[in-house]
A and B are shown apart, each in its own frame.
Chain A
Amino acid sequence: MSKTLTIMLLSGAAENEDAEFATRLALAAQDKGHKVQMYLFGNAVNISKKETPIEGDLHIQQRLVDHIEPTKSFDRLAEIISRGGDVSTCHTNEHARGIEFREYVEGVKWGDVGGSFTKYLMTSDVLLSVGH
């Protein structure tokens, strides 16, 4: 039977494994036919924004780049949404970080606790809070 998994993610991609875990779990749940809702709160709002690549030398050793790239979660977030996942942010947390103006990953919704997250809570079978 299909269920609805809601993940409240509180960590960004570069501070620990939470974002990588949450996005990989979301994809695995979708593979099994379950519905996924993600609410991005705290530093997790950073993964809601399109990556802005720089040009030229990164001044980062290739070995470190190879370690970092799989932990970035922008592409997995876009895939979750393309498969029907419902992903929204806390816009107040975006504002606090000075990034509210930046363009979202395709399909991410502007949101808030009182509206978006409350709706998720009321329509969840399983809720995971993933953060530190």
Chain B
Amino acid sequence: MADELRVDSGALIFATLADVYLSSGMIEEAISILKDGLARNPNYHLAKIILARAYCLKGDCEKAIEAIEPIYDEVKSDESANLCLGHCYFKLGDNEKAKKYYEEALKINAENADAIRALEQLVPKPVVEPEIAAPEVELPAEPRKEEVLQIDEISAVPSAAAPVMEEPEPVEETPEAVIQELPEKTAEVESVPLEALDKPAKRLLDLETVKSVVISTKDGLLIKHYGKAEDDIESICASVAAICLDVDESFRMLKRGGLTRCIIEKSDETLCVMVVGDSLLTVTTKVETKPGLVFIYARKIIEEIEEILG
């Protein structure tokens, strides 16, 4: 039972990783990992919402809607799902539906700035009559009306018939601009501060014999890389993942515990691989390295990875 729980919780980390990819602008990678993860966990709604966001950012609004609408009843209380649908319908020109979903998002969180902003573009504000000043001061009424009309002319709101008094720069807030801000502001999954790994990784790289530090998923996908840029960094990730998978399967045959770490010695370098939850930390070193020292220095990174990626 404990093993099953471990596998299940591990399997769901792909959504977190995908969110990191999205935050980094790696939309295709995010879509790929989400599709793969959803094939294994088809009922993981949060992943579907993130997938929809990814499609929305990619500009494929139909697919984004397809991802959420079948499960909308179950996720209707989710702020980002509603916001994503709102953005998609806005982009598709269906302002009625867009308005409906933005309003739903605001019901969940009345302070959602994206929804407020987007809704302002859909629903023109009622005309605010200029306040009548004190009787002794006469306001120049005509110039103000012209100013209002000018603003109305350049507004991007298609149905804005009535003049708007406030916000002199509504043009900048195009739907695209709003959507670009989406991943940071509406992320359901907490953003993953991988920068926290920089310090311990650099400390490890300070060791003379250490060439690079690579963090990847157990599936062989690169998460982060420190040190010398190697052309084949992704193939190293895939190779190490394949080796770890083989070892894990082999020891399962022996009914013994799975892999925790591994030292692979090549003629020109040594790979020290550590399993951290669902991630692999691979430290590439020179042949003359002291693996014990690498493992000690890597401990801090392992703690950080455990905290961040689980």
A and B bound? no
